[in-house]
Amino acid sequence: MTDPIHILPALDPLPIPAPVALFKFLHHLTLGLHFGALQLLLGGLVLATIWNIVGHASGSRSAIGASGTVAKKLTIVTTYVVNFGVPPLLFAQILYGQALYTSSVLIGAWWIAVVFLILIAYALLYRMTTLADAGRPWWHWGVVSFTLLALVGRVFSTNMTLMLTPEVWSTMYASNPSGTDLPPTDPTMWPRFAVMFLGAFSLGALGTSLWSHLSSVADDARVFLRRWSAISAIVFLPLLGAAGSWALDSQPESVRAALMGGTGATLAYAWVGSIALAFVAALALLATSRSRSALAPILGSVAGTTAIGLWTVLRDMVRDLTLAPKGLDVWATPVATNWVVVGIFLFSLVAGLVLLGWLVSVVARATPLEKNHV
């Protein structure tokens, strides 16, 4: 095997236009939002689909009502999954381009397929909304849509782990320059995939329980939604914890050792703590499923958001620990900042948030939808 240093493409000769720390901050912030929306989407989609099957099989109005409530929110959630995915990819390309462009090309056909898979899954969600409005069963589309999204997730997890293993690239490229193979899996791939998906069925489920508070939700549907979101979370949270420990165990020895000490360990314990808190919230939600109190859903969502944020930081640490000895030390990237440009961007960010805030206030004051307007 060649010296690892010679297997990475050369760094772009242009320095990056802001300090590494700023890019990292923006990356984590937006990726955390992407993951949050993602877990809501995947969790909501699976729960709503199952409820729709159960509802139409047993004629349960509460199940059908709850499934419709969640399903109708999924298109807008997808909008944000996609949109919050954009900036972290941009910043990851800036920070880890040498690795990320390469791994993307090596699975090129799959990588470009992601776009079309999402497009179809998205269109199916709109179709589901239409059917749900008409009170007709739509779960078959839910199954298809989820399958496509799971495949998308598999491609993402593959790319994000393939970028960490430059030692396999050369052979992969020699055997298939079109990128139509998904590579023999990296041992860290499935555990990472598992964390995202088990997180969806637990943390994402807690998030969906927030929708039980929409004024349009009927009483029986609300109780159903709260109860079954809670049960899903109670079942899957322990599995999520187990997947986390699997993800840690699957790391190469040096990475694991580095993670077990110092900041890594603190973050990992905090992650476990936030999952435990989410578990408590899930129990509380189950116990209060008949009540209208928003306390348990809010607590669960806060714990879930924290867990997602911590996971975002942890997986980034894994990346840096893995790549640094292979010749990509992200903190050594040459920097040449144009602060005026950074300032304009930050201004646009603040202005955008203010505008969004105004928009939310306008929509909140809108008179409720009349039926004939749907």
Partner 1 sequence: MNYPVWDVPVIGSGLVIAIIAVIHILISHFAIGGGLFLAMTETKALREGRRDWLDRLRKHSKFFLVLTGVYGAMTGVGIWFSIGLANPEGTSTLIHNFVFAWAAEWVVFLVELSLAAAYYYTWGRIPDKTHEKIGWLYAFTSFLTLFIINGILTFKLTPGPEWLALAGTGREAEAFFQAFFNDGFWPSLGLRSLACVSLAGIWSLVFFSRIDRETDGEVKIQLIRWSAKWLLPAFLLMPFFFAWYLLMVPGEHRDLMTLGMSTIGSGAFTQVTRMALITLMTTATIGLVTYFLAWLNPRDFSFGHGVSLLFLALIATAGAEGTREMLRKPFVVSGYLYSNSNRLADVPRKNAEGYLARSPWNPDRGDRPTVRTGERMFQGQCLSCHTVDGYRSMRKLLHGRDGKAIGNILQMLHENAPDSPYRKFMPPLVGTPAEIEALRQYLDILVNGKLTSPIVDPSAKAVPDSVKVDTLAAPAIDTAKKDSAAPAVRDTSRSTAPAAKDSARI
Q: How far apart are CA 170 and CA 138, in angstroms?
A: 45
Q: How far apart are CA 155 and CA 109, in angstroms?
A: 10
Q: Is 238 in the site for partner 1 (CB under 8 A)?
A: no
Q: How far apart are CA 347 and CA 344, in angstroms?
A: 5
Q: How many CB atoms lie within 10 A of CB 360?
A: 10
Q: How far apart are CA 286 and CA 353, in angstroms?
A: 35
Residue 222 token pair? 């609300």
Q: How far apart are CA 331 and CA 21, in angstroms?
A: 8
Given ligand HEM, partner 1, none, residue 88, with its beta carbon under 5 to 8 Å by kind, binds: ligand HEM
Nearer to ligand HEM, 66 or 148 (CB): 148
Task: Report the site for ligand HEM in 107-166 (rule: CB under 6 A).
Answer: 118, 149, 152-153, 156-157, 160
Given ligand HEM, partner 1, none, residue 152, with its beta carbon under 5 to 8 Å by kind, binds: ligand HEM
Q: How far apart are CA 350 and CA 90, in angstroms?
A: 19
Given ligand HEM, partner 1, none, residue 336, with its beta carbon under 5 to 8 Å by kind, binds: partner 1
Residue 329 token pair? 């030390």
Given ligand HEM, partner 1, none, residue 314, with its beta carbon under 5 to 8 Å by kind, binds: none
Looking at 5-13, 88-96, 250-258, 351-359, which segment touches ligand HEM (CB under 6 A)? 88-96
**Shortest reach from residue 71's CB to partner 1, in Å:** 16
Task: Report the site for partner 1 in 304-363 (rule: CB under 8 A).
Answer: 327-329, 332-334, 336-338, 340-342, 344-345, 348-349, 352, 355-356, 359, 362-363
Q: How far apart are CA 358 and CA 374, in angstroms?
A: 24
Q: Is 82 in the site for ligand HEM (CB under 6 A)?
A: yes
Q: Is 119 in the site for partner 1 (CB under 8 A)?
A: yes
Rg of the chain over all Cα atoms, to the nearest angstrom? 22
Residues 225/66, Cβ–Cβ less than 8 Å:
yes
Binding mask 312-331 for ligand HEM (x = CB under 6 A): ---x----------------
Q: How far apart are CA 153 and CA 199, in angstroms?
A: 13
Of the candidate residues 88, 179, 207, 300, the single one contacting ligand HEM (CB under 6 A):
88
Q: Is 92 in the site for ligand HEM (CB under 6 A)?
A: yes
Residue 18 token pair? 């802001």
Q: Is 6 in the site for partner 1 (CB under 8 A)?
A: yes
Q: How many CB atoms lie within 10 A of CB 40?
A: 28
Size of interface with partner 1, in residues (CB under 8 A): 81
Q: DSSP for 236-259? A: HHHHHHHHHHHHHHTS-HHHHHHH
Q: DSSP for 19-67? A: -HHHHHHHHHHHHHHHHHHHHHHHHHHHHHHHHHHHHHHHT-HHHHHHH
Task: Report the site for ligand HEM in 160-199 (rule: CB under 6 A).
Answer: 160, 192-193, 196
**Shortest reach from residue 153's CB to ligand HEM, in Å:** 4
Report the DSSP beta bridge partners of residue 16: 335
Of the candidate residues 31, 40, 114, 149, the single one contacting partner 1 (CB under 8 A):
114
**Shortest reach from residue 356's CB to partner 1, in Å:** 6
Q: Is 168 in the site for partner 1 (CB under 8 A)?
A: no
Nearer to partner 1, 33 or 275 (CB): 33
Nearer to partner 1, 187 or 334 (CB): 334
Given partner 1, ligand HEM, none, residue 76, with its beta carbon under 5 to 8 Å by kind, binds: partner 1
The owner of tokens 């969502």 is 301
Residue numbers of the site for ligand HEM (CB under 6 A)? 31, 34, 38, 78, 81-82, 85-86, 88-89, 92, 118, 149, 152-153, 156-157, 160, 192-193, 196, 315
